[in-house]
Amino acid sequence: GQNIDQPTEMTATEGAIVQINCTYQTSGFNGLFWYQQHAGEAPTFLSYNVLDGLEEKGRFSSFLSRSKGYSYLLLKELQMKDSASYLCAVRDSDYKLSFGAGTTVTVRA
Amino acid sequence: IAGITQAPTSQILAAGRRMTLRCTQDMRHNAMYWYRQDLGLGLRLIHYSNTAGTTGKGEVPDGYSVSRANTDDFPLTLASAVPSQTSVYFCASSEGTSGANEQFFGPGTRLTVL
C-alpha cells in the first residue's frame, strides 16, 4: 500500500508564505503531483515533480527529494482566494495516483 | 469545450438499489479514473481504464463495476448500494499515464445511500 502524510490544517496571514510538507512511502515512484481543491469543487492541477529540486510556477513552487521521500508546496504572497485544500499525490510503479488526505489552508486578513 | 462532465450532480438512494454514475470527457483522453472522496481519507481510486476496452481495479473496487466501451464514456455502477458508499465521487481523465500527464477532474457526484 501507499503511505502519504501531510498536515491536516494550516493557517496564515494574507501576503505571507506557507509551506505544506508531504512525506511518502510508496511501491515505486513515477512522479509527485500537487492539486488544489476549493470547498465543494473538483481538484485542479498545480504542479508536477519527477526529478529532485524545485519547480517554480508564479507564486507557487514545489520541491522534491526522492531519497528522503519528501516534497513541499510553497505558496508565496498569500491571497484570500488561496484558502483551499492542497492534495499531495504520488504516482507509483503501476502509474496509479495515491493521494494524501489533504491540507486545509486558511488565509486570514 | 466542456472538458469532463458527470451526472447526476447529487443523488439520494435507498440501500439495495442499483445506480450508475455517468462520466463523459471530450478531450479524447486515453485514461479515465473513478475516485471517491471521504472526509479525512482523501481521494481513493476505485477503478481505472488506461485505454478504451480495458479496465483495472484500484484501491477500493468492491461493490463497484465499470465499463469503457469507447474513449469518451466511463460509467460507474453500484450494483446494490450500501450506506458505506455514501461519498463524493469524482471522475478524472488524463491524456496518458506517464510523464507530466496530469489528471483532469469532473465536478463530482454527491451520493447519499440511506
Quote the percentage of chain B above a pLDDT of 90.
89
Residue-level pLDDT at A1: 54
Residue-level pLDDT at B40: 85
Q: Nearest by CB to B108, from A1, A42, A89: name it.
A: A42
Sheet holding B4-7, edge to edge: B4-7, B19-25, B76-78, B64-66
Q: Where are the beta strands (DSSP E) in A38-99?
A: 44-49, 53-57, 60-65, 70-75, 84-91, 97-99
Q: To which residue does cell 508564505 refer?
A: A17
Confidence of residue B1 (pLDDT cuts 50, 70, 90): low
* B19 vs B111: CA distance, rounded Å: 10
Contacts of B99 in chain A (CB under 8 A): 31
Q: Does A29 touch chain B (CB under 8 A)?
A: no
CB pairs under 8 A between A and B: 47
Q: Calculate mean pLDDT across residues B6-22.
A: 98
CA dihedral of B107, B47, A50, B4, whole degrees rounded to 10 = -30
Nearest in space to A97 (alpha carbons), one of A7, A49, A26, A22: A26
- Cell for B33? 479514473
CB A20 within 8 A of CB A73: yes
Find how far residue B17's CA is from the centre of its chain: 18
The answer, yes or no, to whether residue B42 has pLDDT greater than 80, is yes
Q: Calculate mean pLDDT across residues A1-8.
A: 88
Contacts of B103 in chain A (CB under 8 A): 33, 45, 97
End-to-end CA distance of chain A: 40
Residue-level pLDDT at A108: 97
Q: In angstroms, what separates the C-alpha of B34 from chain A's closest C-alpha? A: 11
Contacts of A87 in chain B (CB under 8 A): 42-43
pLDDT tens readout for residues A33-73: 999 999 999 999 999 999 999 999 999 999 999 999 999 99
Which residues, including other chains, have CB under 8 Å from residue A58's CB and lie 6 or more apart?
none
Amino acid at position A59, single letter: R
Residue-level pLDDT at A21: 98
pLDDT tens readout for residues A69-95: 999 999 999 999 999 999 999 998 888
* Residue with the larger pLDDT of the pair A79 and B97: A79
